[in-house]
Amino acid sequence: MRIASWNVNSVGARLPKLLDWLGTAEPDVLCLQELKCAEDAFPYDEVGELGYEVAAHGTGRWNGVAVLSKVGIDDVRRGLLDEPGFMADGAMFEAQEPRAIGATCGGVRVWSVYVPNGREVGHPHYAYKLRWLDALRATAAEELAELPFAVLGDFNIAPTDADVWDIAEFAGCTHVTEDERKALTALTEVGLTEVHPRPLKYDVAFTYWDYRALRFPNNQGMRIDLVYGNDRFSGAVTDAYVDRNARKGKGTSDHAPVVVDVDLP
């Protein structure tokens, strides 16, 4: 089974790229993040023509996640256990955001997650990010059972200093702080391990490159799109890589897909 994850940075803007990639890479399951569309605006018909069922979780302009599957979708769950909300600028109350969706596809339990960015250390969004990661850990702990289980998505955290192109450029910034990395370690404490993609062109398999300053052609990126699985999932992995080619050219997302092949009984 081939399971992938991709922050598409707007499924509407990236639809031709998405359809082309689905036809080429042929994942059995694809976890999408940053849809930037409501559930009823998702291009169900277009991906359906390629054989995919869809479970989407989105409310409009920002955020949004989905699971696409050729092997069935069951037990869909939108949102995390006790998921916190965030009070956006000018809002009167705290609201949950569409950042997580779980589904069982072909006997594998997958979660597509879009972890809050955090904005800057000390910002309320940074505290929200840490609370949200606590809810993700609690959800994983609740759902870990006999099924192969994986959490895939844009974590907005680089696990180590080597996972950014120049750690000096990130001094005092989010994505590399000790508290964020502790939140990743907490996932391992409930029984998940990270699936590391093998490097292809470069020593580190970056997954994100800013659109500005020629970051992509200079490979000045970050590895923030991650995969965590339980023993039944991680032990079945036969290959894992970042499809850097999907980041090339005009009109692409600023992220590349992470692809994991598993050999399950």
- 243 labelled catalytic: no
Candidate list 28, 154, 225, 243, residue with the active-site label: 154
Distances (CA, A) of 146 to 98, 109, 119, 231: 27, 10, 37, 10
Do the beta carbons of residue 195 and residue 240 sit within 8 Å? yes
Candidate list 28, 57, 114, 163, residue with the active-site label: 114
Largest CA distance in the chain: 51
- Is residue 75 marked as binding? no
Burial class (CB in 10 A: 0-12, 13-18, 19+), 194: middle
What residues have CB less than 8 Å from 247, skipping those under 6 apart?
Answer: 209, 216, 253, 254, 255, 256
- Is residue 254 marked as binding? yes
Distances (CA, A) of 262 to 1, 78, 199: 5, 25, 18
- Is residue 9 marked as binding? no
**DSSP bridge pairs for 4:** 30, 259
**What does residue 105 show for φ and ψ, rounded to 5 degrees?**
-130, 115
- 154 labelled catalytic: yes
- 255 labelled catalytic: yes
Q: Measure the CA–CA gap between 49 and 3, rounded to whole angstroms.
A: 19
- 10 Å Cβ neighbour count for 111? 23
- Is residue 255 marked as binding? yes
Residues belonging to the active site:
114, 154, 255
Q: Give the annotated binding-site residues for Mg(2+).
A: 7, 34, 154, 156, 254-255
Binding-site residues sit at 7, 34, 154, 156, 254-255
